[in-house]
Amino acid sequence: MRLRYRKQAAAAGVAVVALTLALGACSSSSSSSAPSGGSSGSSSPAGGSTANLSGTLNGSGSSFQLSFQQAAIQAFKSVQSGMTVNYGGGGSGKGRTDLAAGTVNFAGSDSPIPDKEKANFNGKTVLYFPVVIGPITLSYNLSGVSNLKLDPTVIADIFDGKITTWNDPAIKAINSGASLPSTAIKLAVRSDSSGTTANFSNFLVEGAGSAWTLGTSSTINWPKTAQAGNGNGGVAQIVKSTPGAIGYVDYADAKASSLTFASVKNQAGSYIAPSIDSATAACQNATVKPDLTFSCIWTPGAQSYPITYQSWDLVYQSQSSTNTAAMLKAYIGYLIGDGQKLLPTLNYAPLPSNIQQQAQAQLSKIGS
């Protein structure tokens, strides 16, 4: 009898010990905040591109930056082989939330921190490093029309449902050379919330003024007849497969799906096609605030493409460890320096030199 009880006791004891270990492991990993990097790193005070740093950096946020971050992380391995950088994507909102909670070292965000979120950062200073800019195209599917021109008021009327056919007088007036069919216009929009939607609607507010009634936000109540797709790729697919469709698609995704896009009238009155150069030109003429926030939407300049948007990497000015500060300086320095060369191959636009210089000067502010 003693033997039987001993076996039961041993089994129960093992189970209890296993459960305790599992709970202990869970609680210890949740109590650690942003990883503070490896202890074997040596950090040079000059922001060392030559020093060998080691450790891990974690970032999350804007999906607009995602392909750039992935390419940069790969290329950065040859610059600092001891460092591991992870970028999780997930949307600008998630990035800012993660940074406020301390679970990431840097956050990608397509817009500055909105006022209602500022309280989450507990008064700590956040530095904005612009890293990438890109145009939003108006891609369309209309056989026989390859050089469509659009101005902000017409775009606003198309996207809130006032203009319903391609041969509407308003479109014909600015496209005198083209033969526009009487096909119905089918709108392609985003089903998920997105910085692309926020910036496109922002352009309509700035450029079309009172003609645009639906406001600006990462989610818009488009007309009921609009077809919604998931992600830029989803909208691109709808445009590609629906004759008569028009939608707003990131330049990179529009090029990847070989879509035709329209030239848009800018503030100076010229019709400019979206391209890497016209995006950089737009940001060259943007008003940059002292904290390096700016908007490239509807900027002056004859060559500016008016629907250009930008994305920043946000980091805290004061870091918890010297190694993390050094790693951030190295990686962000790469993103705004040599990493910019990767952008044209990914169909994004590099920062104009005036903004790039200001960003590089701000690097030294990251301290511990």
Partner 1 sequence: MKADPASPAGSADTLSQQRPLGDRGFQLLALASGLLVLVILVLIAVTTSQQAASWFSTEGLKIFTNNWDPATNHFGALSFIYGTALTALIAVIIAVPVSVGIALLLTQVVPYRWSRPIVYVVDLLAVVPSVVWGLWGILVFAPWIQHIYASIASGVGGIPVLGALFGPPTSGPSFFTAGIILAFMITPIVTSLSREVIATVPQIDKEGAYALGATRWEMITGAVWPHSQGGVVGAVLLGLGRAMGETIAAALVIGSASNVITTHLFVPGYNMPAVIANQFGEASGVFRSALMGLGVLLFVFTIIINVLARGIVERSARRKRGA
Among positions 230-269, residues that touch partner 1 (CB under 8 A) are: 230, 241
Cβ nearer to partner 1, comparing 56 with 216:
216
Cβ nearer to partner 1, comparing 63 with 80:
63
Shortest Å, Cβ 225 to partner 1: 7
Shortest Å, Cβ 192 to partner 1: 4
Which stretch in 9-17, 32-40, 290-298, 334-342 sits in contact with partner 1 by CB under 8 A?
9-17
Shortest Å, Cβ 346 to partner 1: 21
Shortest Å, Cβ 18 to partner 1: 10
Among 11, 26, 101, 361, binds partner 1 (CB under 8 A): 11
Q: Is 118 in the site for partner 1 (CB under 8 A)?
A: no
Largest CA-CA distance found in the chain, in angstroms, rounded: 100
Which stretch in 51-59, 190-198, 291-299, 300-308 sits in contact with partner 1 by CB under 8 A?
190-198
Among 37, 55, 91, 333, binds partner 1 (CB under 8 A): 91
Which stretch in 91-99, 266-274, 287-295, 334-342 sits in contact with partner 1 by CB under 8 A?
91-99
Shortest Å, Cβ 93 to partner 1: 4
Q: Is 96 in the site for partner 1 (CB under 8 A)?
A: yes
Q: Is 8 in the site for partner 1 (CB under 8 A)?
A: yes
Task: Classify strands 308-316 and 83-90 as parallel, antiparallel or unpaired.
Answer: unpaired
Q: Is 320 in the site for partner 1 (CB under 8 A)?
A: no
Cβ nearer to partner 1, comparing 218 with 347:
218
Binding residue count for partner 1, defined by CB under 8 A: 47
Q: Is 3 in the site for partner 1 (CB under 8 A)?
A: no
Secondary structure of the chain as H, E, C letters: CHHHHHHHHHHHHHHHHHHHHHHHHHHHHHHCCCCCCCCCCCCCCCCCCCCCCCEEEEEEECCCCHHHHHHHHHHHCCCCCCEEEEEEEECHHHHHHHHHHCCCCEEEECCCCCHHHHHHHCCCCEEEEEEEEEEEEEEECCCCCCCCEECHHHHHHHHCCCCCECCCHHHHHHCCCCCCCCCECEEEEECCCCHHHHHHHHHHHHHHHHHCCCCCCCCCCCCCCCEEECHHHHHHHHHHHCCCEEEEEEHHHHHHCCCEECEEECCCCCEECCCHHHHHHHHHCCCCCCCCCCCCECCCCCCCCCEEEEEEEEEECECCCHHHHHHHHHHHHHHHCHHHHHCHHHCCECCCHHHHHHHHHHHHHCEC
Among positions 194-223, residues that touch partner 1 (CB under 8 A) are: 194-195, 198, 201, 214-222
Among 54, 58, 84, 193, binds partner 1 (CB under 8 A): 193
Q: How far apart are CA 139 and CA 209, in angstroms?
A: 22
Shortest Å, Cβ 232 to partner 1: 13
Count of C-beta atoms within a 10 Å radius of residue 255: 18
Where along the sequence are the contacts to partner 1 (CB under 8 A)? Answer: 1, 4-5, 7-13, 15-16, 19, 63, 90-94, 96-97, 114, 116-117, 191-195, 198, 201, 214-222, 224-228, 230, 241
